[in-house]
Chains A and B, each alone.
Chain A
């Protein structure tokens, strides 16, 4: 087979602005049956009247993606983004509406879907190619490209089960883009790769854009959307809320998040039980339990927290509160919050250090401090004593999701000893009414002036 099987197919190059993907009033309704057998009866004998409830995953979605455009799909979890992609790919059948897709789709919906962990990377490449409808010869022609793009070296001939997740995504991505699709669909997968690889992928995106390949991708990174997409779609509860230039849609999304978090917080504040007054009268152990419980009611904690330490002290309660003292897990950029932690000493302690750290979702430490850095002497603690520390600060992080960790440690005879560390204990979301580049937004004030006219 000649090498041009690997060049982009030119089915419709030159026809100008033909729509590569066209959805007309697409709806996806899941039928929830009482019994499994009803589902079969309904499928095989459509005339039989079977009872079911309806769940709308997509409702009345109409959209068009022009050939050669790069389009982002955004929305919160469960808004129907993935369903939409699956419908466009043809994996899910829409319940209503019309769908037209022109050109070969290469989809990366899940990291290494279709990879068999027992087989080598090479075998999996051929298998994946075959699923995409390529013949052995066609894959032969692309193989060197795939191999060099993935850049996993000799691992190509080792079983995929020995791969790191980074290698996994590299190989999967290398296959998806080197088979030269007309339409490339990517769902979140990119976020796994390292920065260098991501950069290489986006370079490839640029190349694709020049070649007229249509790209559709779902991401939570608004940064990527504004950077690479010309247009975007915003989905919410299965409805298409916004369609338009990427920047406008991202703005709309951020506005939506802020509004929603405001109403959500208001609702939470109402539901919050009145503070218990009797706490002081209870015996200390019961009081501690009640204490911990209260903290658990106010916040959503990470069940997979990473906790360790020798237990000489225990972090019994943590929380984030706004200036009015309301518990918050969704923080507004620029406002002041108290990060609170309470530690109980199990033995007599001298000068314990209390600390917290905020990381981004990738595990990168963004900010954090402790009583030691601030030269605060916490003094002696007797066994059973509780110490409450409040870290007050203005949140300057950009909008996104973060993880917060807490720790209690001390220097004992010159050695650093960890009493209790609770890493990634809570998630917190920061919302902002404006976009910003990078990791933190230091409330820049922009001043304009027009000092005369220069000739």
Chain B
């Protein structure tokens, strides 16, 4: 009986583990194999062609840099915008809490592509929103918003904002408000109580939110395609065009690998500084 109990978890895990190994882990090895091939489609052959990697880095270094710049800025803006909203929902919303949470997840209920296309409408030259920006002088008289880096970043911010708000809200909501009251009883100003009690306690949410925003934003190509111009292409655009239209599989595979490696480095460095509890927090339970 005890023997049988010991194998139960492996049976339960079996199907999912096999699926993830076969269709997530193994394909990564296949992509690695493809990235070291040389030749053109039809006559690809494996040849330890590391040149694909050096070519990838030297040909597309601007797109790599731009991807990290755009997604880094978008993540920062998301954080600055998300925190006040998460704070309001957690501590001040009262009976409006559920309505506000609904507003946060509402964008998820419309298709990603369609809401990005809606931003194309909003930011187009004839739109009232852009007229308003021109009126207050944020955009020059004949200036555009669409097809600029700013529009791409704005799209990234919009599309990934809920991923920032929800984890921060979740961590703020768990804070015992008596701790904040205690700080104030001990003569901390509101500001000091926030900086030394609330903010540190919400750090796991901030870490989780920044990762959930930064990682998908770096690989995104939909926003750059619809809201940017040819000069705003991110690395995702390059990878998808190499795979789908130019059929240069080895180069595309090498680029994907470099992208994954770079993101992993950034994430690991970040976690080193911020602590890993946020990512693997459930482990302790």
> Are A and B physically bound partners?
no
**CB within 8 Å of B: which residues of A?**
none
